[in-house]
Amino acid sequence: MYSRRTFLTTSALAAAGLGLAACRDVAQAGGATPSAAPARTAALPGPLNTRAIPSSGEKIPVIGMGTSGSFQVGNSAAELDPLREVLKRFFAAGATVIDTAPTYGVAEDVMGALLAEQGLTGRAWIATKLSGVTGREAGMAQFNDTLRRLKTDKVALLQVHNLGDLKTQMAVARELKAQGKVRYVGVTHYVERAQDELADVVQAEKPDFLQINYSVTSRGAEKRVLPLARDLGVAVLINRAFEDGKLFAQVKDKPVPEALTATGVTSWAQAFLKFALSHPAVTAVIPATGKPDRQSDNLLAGTGPDLTDAQRQALIAALA
Ligand SMILES: NC(=O)c1ccc[n+]([C@@H]2O[C@H](COP(=O)([O-])OP(=O)(O)OC[C@H]3O[C@@H](n4cnc5c(N)ncnc54)[C@H](OP(=O)(O)O)[C@@H]3O)[C@@H](O)[C@H]2O)c1
C-alpha cells in the first residue's frame, strides 16, 4: 500500500529547485512549539479544535494529514503544485500534525522539500516512524536519514511502525527522546487483527501515542484499544478514517444523513472524520489527500461540535 505512485530521488527534487530553498529552516525546525496557537482562517467557520496530549498537556489540532500515497509523487510541477496548495491550506487553517514514514517512498523527501520551500518546517508537528528495520544501528541510521530527508534536526513524534522489531525500536525511540531529537514516542498499526497485540504493547510500554485504524465501518478499536488508551493517558492518532478512500464509493449518490447536516456537516468526508473524532479517546485524525479542495473539506471537520451518539448511530446505519 506504500507504493501507489512513482518514487523519485532526493537529487531529482534538488534538480527541480526544491533543494536550495530547503536549507533556510533547518535551525528552527523540529515540530511546532507547544505554545504555538492555531491561526484562524477565513476559509473555516471557526478555529480548528485542539486536544491535549495526555503525557504533556500540549494541545494539537484535531485534523492532521497523512502522506502515504498523496506525497509519493514525481517532480513535475503538475504533481508538486497541488501539494504546495494542500500544505498552504493546511497551515492557513491552523493545522500542524503531519504523519509520514521513511517507507512511504519519497514522501519524506517531498514533504521536507515543500515545507522548507514555504518556510513551514518550523511550524510542522511532524510524526514519522521507525519502519521495516531490525537492530539498534539500523534504527538509528534510518532516523538520521529521516531527519536529512525532512530537512530538520528533530521531530515531534517517532513511532514504531506496525510493531516491527518492537523492543529494540522502542528503545531507539526512547533514546532519541532522551537526546531531545524526539518529543514523543509511539506505536502504530493499520489493521484490526493487530489491535489485541497493539493493546498488549500499549499496556506494557505506555507510549505517549498510539496510531490505529478506526472508521465508521471498522469499529474494532472501540472494544479494547481505545478504552485502554483513555485509561492509561495515551494520545491516539487515527489512520484510515476513510478506509483508504473506499468509504466514498460506498456512499456514492447517497446524501449525508439529515441528523448530521442539521448541525452543519456538509460532506461525507466531514462526517467520516467527525465520526473518528467523536470517540473520547481520540486525539487527532490524519486523512491523506493530494487535492487542495479535499484538504479544505477535511479541515472543516475540525470545527464545530463532535457528533452525538444519535448522529454516530445515524452514520453507522447509513453505511450498514
Ligand atoms: N501506521 C500505519 O501502518 C499506517 C497505515 C496506513 C496509513 N497510515 C497513515 O494514515 C494516513 C491516512 O491513511 P490512508 O492514506 O491509508 O487512508 P485514508 O486517509 O483513509 O484515505 C485516503 C484516501 O481518501 C481520499 N480522500 C482524502 N480526502 C478526501 C475527501 N475529502 N473526499 C474524497 N476523497 C478523499 C484520498 O484520495 P486523494 O489523494 O485522491 O484525494 C485517498 O485515496 C496515511 O497517509 C498514513 O500517513 C499509517
**Pocket mutation for ligand 1, best pick of 283, 291, 297, 298 (most atoms within 8 Å of C-beta):** 291
Whether the per-residue pLDDT at 130 is higher than 80: the answer is: yes
Which CATH number do you get for residue 168?
3.20.20.100
In this structure, the residues whose C-beta lies within 6 A of any atom of ligand 1 are 66-70, 99, 161-162, 188-190, 211, 239-245, 248, 269, 286-291, 294, 297-298
Which amino acid appears at position 307 of this protein?
L
11-15, 59-63, 200-204: least confidently modelled range: 11-15
Question: Which range marks the domain in which residue 301 is found?
Answer: 25-319
Centre of ligand 1 to C-alpha 137, Å, is 31
| Phi/psi at 208 (5° precision) | -70, -35
Residue 253 lies in a domain: yes
Q: Which among 153, 142, 149 has a CA at the least distance from the CA of 18?
A: 149
Residues 6+ apart with CB under 8 A from 128: 99, 100, 101, 102, 108, 146, 150, 155, 157, 158, 159
DSSP 293-305: HHHHHHHHTTSSP
Is residue 16 in some structural domain? no
Q: What confidence score (pLDDT) does residue 9 get?
A: 34
Euclidean distance between CA atoms 24 and 112, whole angstroms: 12
| Interacting residues of 83 by C-beta distance below 8 A, sequence separation 6+ | 70, 71, 73, 110, 114, 290
pTM beyond 0.85: the answer is yes
Distance of CA 244 to the CA centre of its chain: 13
Residue 125 domain flag:
yes
Please identify which residue in the block is written with the cell numbers 466514498: 248
Cell numbers for 235, please give them.
494520545
Choosing from 163, 238, 266, 294 the residue with most ligand 1 atoms within 8 A of its CB, the one to mutate for a pocket test is 294
Q: In angstroms, rounded to a whole number, what is the distance separating the alpha carbons of residues 216 and 109?
A: 32
88: in domain: yes
- Identify the burial level of 126 via C-beta atoms within 10 angstroms of its C-beta, where 0-12 means exposed, 13-18 middle and 19 or more buried: buried
Q: Which of 201, 239, 300 to mutate to test the pocket of ligand 1 (most atoms within 8 A of CB)?
A: 239
pLDDT at 15 over 80: no
Expressed in angstroms and rounded, the spacing between residue 165 Cα and the centre of ligand 1 is: 25
Residue with CA at minimum distance from ligand 1 atom 15? 288
CB atoms within 10 A of CB 261: 14
Residue 10 falls inside a structural domain: no
Share of the chain above pLDDT 70, in %: 87
Mean pLDDT calculated for residue range 53-66: 98
- Does 281 reside within a domain? yes
What average pLDDT does the structure give for the chain? 89
Q: Please state the φ and ψ torsions of residue 99, each to the nearest 5 degrees.
A: -105, 130
Is 6 a member of any domain? no
Is 101 a domain residue? Answer: yes
Distance CA 19, CA 25 (A): 12
User: Is the Cβ–Cβ distance between 263 and 303 less than 8 Å?
Assistant: no
Q: With 70 as the cut, is the pLDDT of residue 169 above it?
A: yes
Q: How far apart are CA 177 and CA 157, in angstroms?
A: 9
Quick: pLDDT tens for 290-319. Answer: 999 999 999 999 999 999 999 999 999 999
For ligand 1, atom 44: residue with the closest CA: 66
Q: Cα(194)–Cα(47) distance, rounded to whole angstroms?
A: 35
If one counts the domains in the chain, the total is: 1
